[in-house]
Amino acid sequence: MLDTRFIYEPMLSPLPGTKEGDLRSFGGRTMKYPIWVSSMTGGTELANKINKRLSKICGQYGLAMGLGSCRQLLDSDEYLNDFTVRNLMPDQPLFANLGIAQVEELLKNNETHKIDALLSKLEADGLIIHVNPLQEWLQPEGDKIYVAPIDTIKSLLAIAKYPIIVKEVGQGFGKESMKALLSLPLEAVDFAANGGTNFSKIELSRSEKLKKEVYMQVSNLGHDAKSMVQWANEIISEGAEVKAKQLIISGGIKNFLDGFYHIHLANIESSYAMASGFLKYAMESEEELDQFVQLQLKGYDMAQAMLRINK
Ligand SMILES: Cc1cc2nc3c(=O)[nH]c(=O)nc-3n(C[C@H](O)[C@H](O)[C@H](O)COP(=O)(O)O)c2cc1C
């Protein structure tokens, strides 16, 4: 089956790999490719191994990384070593991660200094806030969210001295939410669209039979990355105020072709991110992950040289 997303142009560039790739900057750090490793918590046993493997490839190949939820580091240093990866990626963007419910609580208790301390001990460049109300709603013991997430983010932006990225966790955002986010001075808006890992589905699979049956369709709620790029483009063309610096397109991005397609479809500076795609190989071995990443980057170079987007 032909991949009609692309136009193949073999006449216009030298063979990829024969000239240096572009360097780009994100929040003052350098990236060799517009690719992020999305935030992933691995549980206490896996976090150390996975974080170190993933950050090593970020350092080696010039990619950016979001750490998995750092909630447990807010009040204790017991697991700090598992998240300490700056030495492995000294020049690349590295962001810590907290959920919207924790940020809401820290604001309420006047404890946002704990976020400053967290970033400082991780030597992180900024904070990713994950907004996951549907997942929390499905969890029997889910966190309560008392304030509209957009207001919590505005409150933090008003006092934060570090860059902030906002993401979902696998459902994406509707157009109004995206417009509200894009109007804020965020370092990036990360889609975490529906199409890949879906935490509502994971929550439901853990639920009892009746709940599963009644809420089965809830995990189908949300938006895919392509619709979200199209909304972002509409929001820009409608002349709305856009203060967010860029998009991170993620959620169901399986490889360099998906990533290349979406970032070139967007009319705003963008990079792409994968979670489960990297995790699969990170769980295998350092060598598997390294080979996977090399093939992805070589593929990206090929796309850049020979492909144009069929808009
Ligand atoms: C094992 C695993 C753990 C995750 N943990 C977090 C987390 O702690 N914080 C977060 O913001 N997102 C978390 N995510 C969501 C991812 O960052 C990403 O948004 C989502 O998986 C969609 O990307 P994908 O389709 O490439 O997997 C996790 C995903 C996976 C697979």
Which CATH number fits the domain that encloses residue 82? 3.20.20.70
In a domain, residue 33? The reply is yes
In a domain, residue 1? The reply is no
Task: Name the band, by pLDDT with cuts 50, 70 and 90, for residue 23.
Answer: confident
The pLDDT value given to residue 19: 62
CA of 197 to the centre of ligand 1 (A): 7
3: number of Cβ within 10 Å: 10
β-sheet bridge partners, residue 6: 309
Mean pLDDT rounded to a whole number for the chain: 95
User: Rounded CA gap, 55 and 89, in Å?
Assistant: 6
The phi, psi pair for 48, rounded to 5°, reads: -60, -55
Q: Enumerate residues lining ligand 1, CB below 6 A.
A: 38-41, 68-69, 97, 130, 167, 169-170, 192, 196-197, 250-253, 274-277, 279
In a domain, residue 129? The reply is yes
In a domain, residue 276? The reply is yes
Instruction: For the chain, give the percent of residues with pLDDT over 90.
Output: 86
In a domain, residue 166? The reply is yes
pLDDT per residue as tens digits for the range 159-215: 999 999 999 999 999 999 999 999 999 999 999 999 999 888 888 888 899 999 999
In a domain, residue 148? The reply is yes
Please give the number of the atom of ligand 1 that sits closest to the Cα of 168.
Answer: 19
Domain housing 68: 6-309
CA of 107 to the centre of ligand 1 (A): 24
User: Rounded CA gap, 253 and 274, in Å?
Assistant: 6
Give the number of domains in the chain: 1
In a domain, residue 167? The reply is yes
Entry pTM = 0.97
